[in-house]
Structure 1
Amino acid sequence: MNIFKAIILGIVQGLTEFLPVSSSGHLAVTQHLLNVPEDRILFLTVILHIGTLVSVFFVYSKDLFLICREFVILIFEFITGKGINFNNEHRKLGLFIIIATIPTGLMGLLFKDTFASFYTSQIIIGFSLIITGSLLWFAEKVHVNRKVKKDIKKMRWYDAIFVGIFQGFAITPGISRSGSTIVGSLLRGFNKEMATKFSFLISVPAILGATVLETKDALTVGLGNLTFGVLFAGIIASFLAGVFAIRTLINFIKKEKLYYFSFYTWTIGIIIVVINIVS
C-alpha cells in the first residue's frame, strides 16, 4: 500500500460517503481495481471513516455544538428537578438523532455478518446501485408534489424511526447511506433543509458506531505495511472530499436535482452487472 492508493481510496470514501452513490460499493470496486489486499483495506477503511466523520463536524459544527450544549442543559435541569422539556429545535433534533440511531444500530448488529458477505459479489453491488438510483428518483418526484413539508417543529418520533430504518438498509454494499436517509426523509415529507441536515447529523453516530465495530477486526489484522504517512494521507483526502461532497449535495437538494445522481448509479450499476455476467 502506498500514499497514492491511500489518497485515491480517501477521495472515493469522502465523496461517496455523503453523495448518494454508496461508499461501500465504490470502495469495494476501487479496492479491486487498485489490487489492494483485503487485510489492508480493513484497517484503512477505519481510518478513512475518521476523515469523513471530521468533515461532518466541520460543516455542521454550529448545530452539533448547540445539540451537545442543550443536552448538557437538559441533564442539569433534570437533576435539579425541573423535569425534561424538549422545548427548542436542537433538543428535539438531538432526541430524534438518538431515536433514529436505534433501528440503524439494531439492523447493523443483527445483519452485519450476512451483508458483509455481499462485499465479494460485484453483481449484488451492481443491482444495489440500481436500486439506490431508483429510490432517489422516486423520492424526489414524490417530494416535489407535496404541498406541506415538515420542519423540526412538525417532526415526530416515528419519522425518526422511519429514517433510521432506511439508514440501516445501507449496510448492503451498493445502497447509499446518505441516499437512504435522504430518501426516507423526503418520503416522510421533510422540507429540503431538514432532510439534508438530519441525514448528515444522524451519520455521526452511524459512522462512529461502524468505526468502533470495524476497529476490533482491524486491530486483529494489524497495520501490516501501512505507514503513518499513508494513513495520514488517507484521512486528509477523505476529510477534504467529504466537505466537498456535503456542500455539493446540499446544493443539489436545494435545486431539486437529486435525481441527477440516479443516472450515475444506474449507469455504474448496469455496467458492473453486465461485466460480471459476460465475464
Structure 2
Amino acid sequence: MNWIEAIVLGIFQGVAEFLPISSSGHLALLQRLFGITKGNLFFTEMLHFGTLISIIIVYFKDVKKIILEFLVLMADLIMRRKVDELTDHQKLGLLILSGSVPTAIIGITFEDFFESLYTSLIPIGIAFLFTGFLLWFAEKKGSEHKDIKKMSFLDSLIIGTFQGMAIIPGISRSGSTIVAGLLRGLKKPLTTEYSFLLALPATFGAFLLGIIKVIKGGDGVIVNMPLLVGISLSTIVGVVSIKALIKILNKNKLHYFSYYLWVVGTITIISQLI
C-alpha cells in the first residue's frame, strides 16, 4: 500500500461510508483500479475503524448519554426498581439493540453469498442503480411525523433489516437506513441520528470479525505511516461527510445522489460488458 493509494482510499472511505453512495461498492471499484490484492484486507478493515471513530466524534454527547442512562436502566431492572417511563436516551439505546438483531442475523447467515458478489463488478453496478432508486423514491414518498417517543420497535427491526441488506456491495448502508426511516415516518433529525448510531454496533462487530479473519487467514498486518494517514483521513472526512449529509437531508436534496449513482452504476455495468 503506497501513499497515493492510502490517501485516495482513506478519503473515499470517509465520503462513501456516510454519504448514501456505498463505501463497499466504491472501495471495490478503487481496489480493482489500483490492483489491490487480498493482502491489503487489514488496511480496508482499519479504514472502517476510522469511520467508526467519526460517528463517535459527531454524536459523542448522545453516545455518552445512551451508555450512562442505559446502565441506570439495567441497574433499576436488576434491583427490581419500578421503571415508570423510559427516558429518550434509554429508549434510543434499546432501539439500537433491537435494530442490530436483524442486521447481525442477515450478516452471519448470508456472509458467504455477500462476499461472492465482490468477484464481479456487474452486481455492484446493479446495486448502485437500485440504491439510487431507493433514495429517489423515499424522498418523494416519505412523511415525517414520528419522534423518539412515537418510534416503535417494529420501526427499528425494519430499519435494521435494511441495514443488513446493505452488506451487499453497492447498497449504501446510510442510504438504506435513512430510506427505511423516512418510509416509516421518522422525522429527519431522528432518521439521521438513528441511522448513524445504529451503525456503531454493526461497524464495530464487522471490524472485529474482519480483523480476526485477517489474522486467521495469514494476511499481512502491517502498521505503517500510509495506514495511519488512511485512518486519519477516513475519520476526518467522515466527520465532514456526516455533517454534510445532515444538511443535505434537511434541504430535501437526498435525490441528488440518485443521479450520481445511476451514472456510476450504468458506467460500471457497461465497462464489464464491452
Instruction: Name the aligned partner's letter for residue 10 of structure 1.
Output: G
What is the match of residue 50 of structure 1? 49
Q: Which runs of 5+ in 2 are unaligned?
A: none
Q: 1:166 aligned to 2:166?
A: no
1:107 and 1:18 map into 2 onto residues whose CA distance is 21
Q: 2:126 is matched by which residue type in structure 1?
A: F
| Structure 1 residues 50-129: aligned runs within 5 Å | 50-84=49-83, 86-129=85-128
Amino acid aligned to 1:149: H
Q: Considering only aligned residues, what root-mean-square deviation do their CA atoms show, in Å?
A: 1.3
1:200 equivalent to 2:180? Answer: no
- Give the drift of 1:47: 0.6
**Are 2:185 and 1:189 aligned?**
yes
TM-superposed deviation, 1:222:
4.5
- Which segments of 5 or more consecutive residues in structure 1 lack a partner in the other structure? none
Does structure 1 conserve the Cα–Cα contact (< 8 Å) formed by 2:42 and 2:221? no
Partner residue of 2:3?
Answer: 3
CA offset digits 1:120-169 (Å, max 9, x no partner): 210100000000000000011001xx3x5111011011000000000011
Give the aligned partner of residue 230 of structure 1.
226
**Total equivalences in the alignment:** 274
Report how far residue 223 of structure 1 moved.
5.7
- 1:38 aligned partner, one-letter code: K
Kept after mapping to 2: 8 A contact 1:74/1:85 = no
Shift of residue 86, structure 1, vs aligned partner:
4.8
**For 1:233 and 1:221, how far apart are their aligned partners in 2?**
25
- SS of equivalent residue, structure 2 residue 145: coil
CA contact (8 A) 2:18 2:174 kept: yes
SS of 2:171's partner is coil
Q: Does 1:157 align with 2:153?
A: yes
Maintained 8 Å contact 1:39/1:221: no
State the AA in 2 paired with 1:249.
L
2: distance between equivalents of 1:111 and 1:223? 23
8 Å CA contact 2:215, 2:221 repeated in 1: no
Contact 1:86 1:92 in 2 (8 A): no
Show the counterpart of 1:275.
271
TM-score, scaled relative to structure 2: 0.97
1:227 Cα deviation (Å)? 3.9
Give how far 1:83 is off.
Answer: 3.7
Structure 2 Cα separation of the partners of residues 196 and 19 of structure 1: 11
Identity of aligned residues (%): 46
Change (3 A) 1:79 1:67: same
Displacement of 1:78 in angstroms is 1.8
Partner letter of residue 267 of structure 1?
Answer: V
